[in-house]
C-alpha cells in the first residue's frame, strides 16, 4: 500500500507542477513564495484554503511536495520554478 500511495502522490505532484508551469506561461500574476519559486497567486490561495479548512491531509501533502520538494521521488532539493 505504501508504494501505491507514493506512486499516486508522485503523479499528483507532476500534474500540479505542470499546471503551474502552464499557468505561468499564460502570464498570470505570480508571487514569490520562497527563493527559487514563484507561483501564480491562485495556487497560494488554494494552498491556504487547504490548510485553513483542514481538508484531507493527502491534498496538503501533495501541495507541499509540489511546492517544496518530493523526497518520495528522490528529490533532494526544493523545486525551482521562476
List, for residues 59-76, the tens digit of each pLDDT value.
Answer: 888 888 998 899 888 898
SS3 content of the chain, % helix, strand, coil (to 5): 60, 10, 25
pLDDT at 2: 47
Residue pLDDT, tens place only, 26-54: 998 999 988 999 999 988 888 788 778 87
Cβ atoms of 17 and 68 within 8 Å: the answer is no
Quickly count: other Cβ atoms within 10 Å of residue 40's Cβ.
20
Closest CA to 67 of 44, 41, 42: 44
Residue 25 cell numbers, joined: 506561461
Where in the chain does DSSP place strands (E)?
A: 30-34, 37-40
pTM, full prediction: 0.81
Amino acid at each position: 500500500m505504501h508504494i501505491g500511495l507514493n506512486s499516486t502522490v508522485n503523479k499528483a505532484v507532476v500534474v500540479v507542477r505542470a499546471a503551474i508551469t502552464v499557468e505561468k506561461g499564460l502570464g498570470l500574476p505570480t508571487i514569490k513564495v520562497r527563493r527559487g519559486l514563484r507561483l501564480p497567486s491562485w495556487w497560494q490561495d488554494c494552498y491556504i484554503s487547504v490548510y485553513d479548512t483542514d481538508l484531507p491531509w493527502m491534498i496538503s501533502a501533495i501541495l507541499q511536495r509540489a511546492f517544496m520538494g518530493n523526497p518520495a521521488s528522490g528529490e533532494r532539493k526544493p523545486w525551482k520554478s521562476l
